[in-house]
Amino acid sequence: MMADIPPLLSVENLHTRFDTMDGVVTAVDGIDFEVYAGETLGLVGESGCGKSVTALSILRLLRCPPAAIEGRVLFEGRDLLQMDSDAIRAVRGSEISMIFQEPMTSLNPVLRIGEQIAEGIRVHQRRTRPESWRRAVEMLRKVQIPSPDSRAAQYPHKFSGGMRQRSMIAIALCCGPKLILADEPTTALDVTIQAQIMNLMMRLKEELQTAIVLITHDLGVIAETASRVIVMYAGKIVEEAPVRELFKDPRHPYTQGLLGSVPVIGRRQRSGRRLQEIPGMVPNPLQVPPGCRFNPRCPKAMPVCCSKPPPMIRLAEHRRVSCWLEAEGAKRESSGR
């Protein structure tokens, strides 16, 4: 069991705040989770829930100030938040890599693709320019870009969206990292290309034994790729579960709403009901509601949900939920004994 294996990454009480003209915005508010070697962990939730900020905070890619990051991020026992700038730069791209959401804004438009891959190899592996270039071409071949020798000499604008994302994967994997943070890696791509990119990532993950934190709002992708899922809402973790258990028995009303809003072929014909929806929107981080942050949108909200933040209830190994319904149920169960 994973409980007997030390985690590759351990995030403890992570807070990320931004000082704005309107006040302090807490984008990530005291979250804890672990990632184990070789696994794929899904991080899901609506836009604005803090998923991308979590990844950027782990690698300290936010400008401080206006951002302020607190807590502990232990990678193989080393606290990334306590490292000096040289030490964290040595980790980025070498031991932990990130695949960003939009490759056209992440790739340098005035550098050839091969040079952008080779740069990380030269910096982290101390290879010569010819060696780095050969390795860059090899990586393009590995991510299945045709004619990699000639493509390596081209600029990003010559590549399609799918090829640019494959190039981002090549950059992320070129130094053999132990962990990849993939932030919505298929958002801007059509469905066919999305499937190709995800299949490619999973194949390379198995080949290189790399762990992945997959940030997405696409529950279909999570169902097919992740082994464990964390659900975030308004900067908080509301539920964590193995992927099969989450889809079979979601405990938090927000998770239930997310799963209920996914269209399934034949569902309406069988049930006779319209597709479910979650009313309202994620709250403004400057005006977070008291108590449970989901209570204004929750169909099962109780009076306590509007006044006190719910505790995190651990149901089993890697199975927890932050909800007053579960807390009350656990209380009744314990008193019944």
Q: Where are the domains of the chain?
A: 2-233, 236-265+283-336
Share of residues in the chain with pLDDT > 70 (%): 92
- 28, 16 Cβ separation under 8 angstroms: yes
- 160, 130 Cβ separation under 8 angstroms: no
In this prediction, residues 35-63 reach a mean pLDDT of 93
In this prediction, residues 62-67 reach a mean pLDDT of 87
- 39, 206 Cβ separation under 8 angstroms: no
Whole-angstrom Cα distance, residue 281 to residue 258? 13
Q: Which is it for the CA torsion 202, 204, 207, 212, positive or negative?
A: negative
**Is residue 1's pLDDT more than 50?**
no
- pLDDT tens-digit map of 184-200: 887 767 777 788 888 88
Mean confidence (pLDDT) of the chain: 88
In this prediction, residues 133-148 reach a mean pLDDT of 92
In this prediction, residues 218-222 reach a mean pLDDT of 87
Superfamily (CATH) of domain 2-233: P-loop containing nucleotide triphosphate hydrolases (3.40.50.300)
In this prediction, residues 71-89 reach a mean pLDDT of 94
- Residue (of 151, 188, 220, 181) closest to 40 by Cα position: 181
CB-based burial label for 128 (10 Å; 0-12, 13-18, 19+): exposed
In this prediction, residues 193-208 reach a mean pLDDT of 85
- 174, 136 Cβ separation under 8 angstroms: yes
Predicted pLDDT of residue 271: 53
Q: What residues pair up with 26 in beta bridges, in sequence order? A: 17
In this prediction, residues 312-336 reach a mean pLDDT of 79
Rounded-to-5 percentages of helix, strand, coil across the chain: 40, 25, 35
Choice between 1 and 298, residue whose per-residue pLDDT is larger: 298
